[in-house]
Every structure is written in structure tokens, then in C-alpha cells.
Amino acid sequence: MSTTIENPAATNGSRRVPEGAPPLLDAVRRRLTGVGLPALRISLGVVIAAFGSLKFFPGASPAEGLVMRTTEVLTLGLVDGRPAVLATAAIELALGIVLLTGRFLKPGLVLMAGWLAGILSPVLLFPGEMFPGGLPTLAAQYVLKDVILAAAWLVLVAECLGARLVTPEPTD
């Protein structure tokens, strides 16, 4: 009995629970198959909503200055300063709610693609400031950790497009 992803070529078969696994391992496998993706979606929603909520309060978010500068560059100066932070806060809160509730998930994931491009862009927009002397600053580390959010987004998009984590029934 093994847990597989419906497209086994994508994993090269390397993520299988061995045949004849102990019953406890099999029970854990079955339970995690059912809760893993919803837990990923909900936890991502909590994190994004929490960080977005901070941006509504001046000085509460450590990313506030970076958000202002990045948004100003990305919008060619059309949006800057506090409005940039408030717009980002609103987008993040909306994304968080979408992920928490699972409602409007497809359009939310499309919006999230643009948001991810924006939050990762300081690495490309300000490389000299992000990596002085070749080493990442705290701001760069703050941005680079968002690669994890992008990876979670990929998993959620795959699920939304029909990919499924499946647990085959035992064949006697």
C-alpha cells in the first residue's frame, strides 16, 4: 500500500510508503493525505492575512519602507508612500481571506501570482542594497523566505487545476 501523486512520473516513485508498512504508519499516511493540502492553504492564509493586517498600522510592519519603495518602482511612481502600504495590506488581507475560506480560490490564486512577483521583486530591483558585498541583508532574507510562499502557491495551483494526492485502497 502506498501514497502516490496521480502523476507518478512527477515523483519518480521516490515518495512511496513501502508495501507492508506498519499499521500506524499507514494510518498516519491516510490521515495526512486528507489534511495536508487544506492545512497548507489555511496556514498560508493565516500568515498572509497577519502580515497584511500589520501594514494597516503605521510602523507595525518591518517591511513598510521596502513596500513603499518597491511599489513606487513597480508602478512607475504612480503609487508611493502610505497608499502603497495600504494597497498592499488590502491585497494581502483579501488573499488571506480567500485562502482561509477557500472561496474564490481560482481568482485568488491568479491575484497571488502578481502579489508573489511583487514581494519577490526587491531582490531584482535593489540588488546592491539587498546583497552588499555579496551577502544578503536582513531585508534580503525577509524577501527570500517568500520563496517558500511561492512553492506553497505552486502546490495550491496544481490542486486547483485538478492534481490530487491520493491514497490507493488496499488490493488483497
Q: Which residue has the cell 491514497?
A: 167
Q: Which residue has the cell 518591518?
A: 62
Cα–Cα distance list, 161 to 109, 123, 157, 167 (Å): 11, 30, 6, 19
CA pair distance 85, 49, nearest whole angstrom: 14
pLDDT of res. 34: 80
Looking at the DSSP assignment, which residues form a beta bridge with residue 4? 166
* Whether this model's pTM surpasses 0.85: no
Tell me: pLDDT of 105 over 70: yes
Q: What percent of the chain has pLDDT over 90?
A: 71
pLDDT range class, residue 14, cuts 50, 70, 90:
very low
Residues whose CB is less than 8 angstroms from the CB of residue 3 and which lie 6 or more positions away in sequence, other chains included = 15, 16, 17, 29, 30, 33, 165, 166, 167, 168
pLDDT of res. 9: 45
Tell me: pLDDT of 2 over 50: no
